[in-house]
Structure 1
Amino acid sequence: MKHIVKSIIMLLALLVVSCNEGIDPITAVDAGVDETAPQVTISAPVAGSVIQVPAETTDVPISFQVTDDIEVGSISVQMNGSTIATYNGGFVDYRRVLVNNLVFEGLVDGEHELTVTATDLDGKSTSATVNFSKEPPYLPKYEGEILYMPFNGDWIDLISFQTPTVVGDPSFASEEESLNGSGAYAGAEGAYLTLPTDGLTNPEFSAIFWVKINAIPDRAGILTMSPPMTDGTTNDRNKGFAFFRENAGGEQRFKLTAGYGEGAEWFDGGEMADVDPSTGEWVNLAFTISGSEAVVYINGQVVSQNAFPGIDWTDCNVLSIMSGAPNFTEWNHLSDQSLMDELRIFNRAITQEEIQTIMADDSGEFVSSYPPTFDGEFFYMPFDGDYMEMFRETEATEVGNPGFAGESVEGTDAYAGAVDSYLTFPTQGLTSDNFSATMWYKMNVTENNAGILITGPEDTENAGYPEVQNLRTSGFRFFRENVGGMQRFKLNVGDGTADAWVDGGENADVDPLVATDWIHLAITISGSNAVVYIDGEPVGQNTISGIDWSDCDFFSIGSGAPTFTEWGHLSDESQIDELRFYNKSLTQEEVQEVMNN
Structure 2
Amino acid sequence: MKFLKYINLLFILSIFACDDGYIDDISNVDPGPDEEAPEVTIDFPVEGTKIRVLEDVTSINIRFEASDDIRLETVSVSVDGSEIASFSESDFTDYRRFIGEVTYSDLANGEHTVSVTAVDVNGKTTTNTVNFSKEEPYQPMDGEVLYIPFDSEIIDLVTLNTGEGSNVQFAQGVAGQALSLDVARQAYAIFEASDNVTGVENFTLSFWVRPEFVDSDNSGGIDGVLGLVNFSNIERFWGNFDFFVENGSNPDATRIRLHITHNSADETWITDVNDLSGFFGEWSHQVVTYDASTSTFNYYVDGVLTTTATSSWGGPLNFENTGPMVFGAVQFQTDPSLTSATGNQPWASYLTGELDEVRFFNRAFTQEEVTTLYENERP
Q: TM-score range by the shorter chain?
A: 0.5 to 0.7
Contact 1:193 1:322 in 2 (8 A): no
Instruction: Return 5+ residue gaps in structure 2 as ranges.
Output: 1-31, 217-222
Aligned to 1:296: 299
CA-atom RMSD in angstroms: 4.2
Select which of 202, 205, 216 maps to 2:203. Answer: 205
Residue 128, structure 1, aligned to residue 140, structure 2: no
Aligned to 1:157: 156
Instruction: Return 5+ residue gaps in structure 1 as ranges.
Output: 1-30, 365-597
Contact 1:255 1:273 in 2 (8 A): no
Aligned to 1:82: 82
* Equivalent residues in 2 for 1:32-51, closer than 5 Å: 38=39, 40=41, 44=45, 47=48, 49=50, 51=52
Select which of 231, 255, 258 maps to 1:256. Answer: 258
Letter matched to residue 318 of structure 1? P
Select which of 352, 356, 375 maps to 1:341. Answer: 356
Residue 194, structure 1, aligned to residue 185, structure 2: no
- Cα 1:64–1:327 change in 2 (3 A) is same
The CA deviation string for residues 200-220 of structure 1, in whole angstroms up to 9 with x for no partner, is 232222111223446679654
Cα displacement (A) at 1:195: 1.8
- Cα 1:125–1:205 change in 2 (3 A) is same
Contact 2:233 2:321 in 1 (8 A): yes
- Cα 1:283–1:87 change in 2 (3 A) is farther
Residue 306, structure 1, aligned to residue 309, structure 2: yes
Aligned to 2:284: 283
- Cα 1:304–1:114 change in 2 (3 A) is farther
Aligned to 2:22: none
Letter matched to residue 143 of structure 2? G
Contact 1:44 1:64 in 2 (8 A): no
- Cα 1:117–1:330 change in 2 (3 A) is same
Contact 1:267 1:296 in 2 (8 A): no
Distance in 1, Cα, partners of 2:166 & 2:280: 28
Residue 140, structure 1, aligned to residue 124, structure 2: no
Contact 1:79 1:112 in 2 (8 A): yes
**Residue 353 of structure 1: SS of its match in structure 2?**
helix
Aligned to 2:274: 270
Select which of 155, 160, 164 maps to 1:166. Answer: 164
* Equivalent residues in 2 for 1:318-467, closer than 5 Å: 318-324=324-330, 325=334, 326-327=337-338, 330-331=344-345, 336=351, 338-363=353-378
- Cα 1:86–1:180 change in 2 (3 A) is farther
Contact 2:44 2:63 in 1 (8 A): yes
- Cα 1:81–1:286 change in 2 (3 A) is same
Distance in 1, Cα, partners of 2:150 & 2:367: 25
Distance in 2, Cα, partners of 1:286 & 1:186: 20
Residue 226, structure 1, aligned to residue 226, structure 2: no
- Cα 1:36–1:221 change in 2 (3 A) is farther
Highest relative contact order (Cα 8 Å, sep 6+), 1 or 2? Answer: 2
Cα displacement (A) at 1:111: 3.2
Contact 2:53 2:160 in 1 (8 A): no
Residue 180, structure 1, aligned to residue 158, structure 2: no
Distance in 2, Cα, partners of 1:120 & 1:204: 64
Contact 1:257 1:266 in 2 (8 A): yes
Distance in 1, Cα, partners of 2:66 & 2:205: 43
Per the normalisation by structure 1, the TM-score is 0.44
Letter matched to residue 190 of structure 2? L
Aligned to 2:7: none
Aligned to 1:57: 57
Cα displacement (A) at 1:275: 1.4
Letter matched to residue 250 of structure 2? G
- Percent identical among aligned pairs is 23
Cα displacement (A) at 1:274: 5.4
Cα displacement (A) at 1:265: 0.8
**Residue 60 of structure 2: SS of its match in structure 1?**
strand
Per the normalisation by structure 2, the TM-score is 0.65
Contact 2:76 2:117 in 1 (8 A): yes
The CA deviation string for residues 517-536 of structure 1, in whole angstroms up to 9 with x for no partner, is xxxxxxxxxxxxxxxxxxxx
Distance in 1, Cα, partners of 2:244 & 2:300: 13
**Count of residues paired in the alignment:** 314
**Residue 105 of structure 2: SS of its match in structure 1?**
strand
Contact 2:299 2:308 in 1 (8 A): yes
